[in-house]
Amino acid sequence: MGIKVTVSDQEASSGDRENLPVGKYHCAITDVRLDSPGAGDNIGRPMLVFDFTVQDSELHQPARLNEFKDRHIFTNACIWEGALYTIVGILKAMGKYEENLDADGELDAPDDPDYYIGTQMFVRRATNNKQRQKFPDNPDYWIQASGFSAIKSKVGASTSSSDNSLLP
C-alpha cells in the first residue's frame, strides 16, 4: 500500500522536457541567493545565483506564447573584479547600475534578494562556444543566459496612472 496524495497540475506537468532554445525571453526575477563557487580558483568568492521565470507575454514569440511560460533560466553573477559582466548587465537592465556606483566608480552590488525579485527584463540565451567544445554532447551546459535588456513600454502606452496621460 502506498501513500495517497493529491497531485497539482503544476506537479503533474513536471518531468523531462526539452531545454529552452537559443532566443530572447521575457522573464521576471523570482529568486536570488548569495553563494560562492564550489570548485576552482574562486572558492569563497561571492556570487549571486539568479532564477528567472519566463512570463506569459506577447512581448516574446507570440506564436509560441505558452510553450515556455513558467520555465526557469538560472545564471550566476560573480561579484569580483574581472567577472562582473553578468551583474552589470542585470543592473543595467533594471535601470539601477549607475545608482550602485560610488564616487570612485566602484560597484556596490546589492546582495538583498528583495532588491531584485519581481523585476522583469529580457534574458537572451545563446551558445557559449567554450562550453560547447568542453561538453559537445550536452546542450544543457552550452546554451545559457548571455545577455539582459530592459523591457521598454510601448510608445503611447500608459505605464501607471493618469500622470502619464497627454489629456488635460
Phi and psi, residue 30, nearest 5°: -115, -10
Does residue 32 form part of some domain?
yes
| Number of independent structural domains in the chain | 1
Does residue 78 form part of some domain?
yes
For residue 164, is pLDDT > 70? no
- Domain at 102, CATH number: 2.40.50
Which of the given ranges, 3-17, 131-145, 151-165, has the highest pLDDT on average? 131-145
pLDDT tens track for 60-75: 555 665 678 899 999 9
Does residue 10 form part of some domain?
no
Alpha helices by DSSP H, the chain: 9-12, 85-94, 113-116, 129-134, 139-142
Does residue 54 form part of some domain?
yes
Does residue 126 form part of some domain?
yes
pLDDT tens track for 41-50: 999 999 999 9
Q: How much is the pLDDT for 161?
A: 38
Q: Which domain holds residue 90?
A: 19-151
Does residue 158 form part of some domain?
no
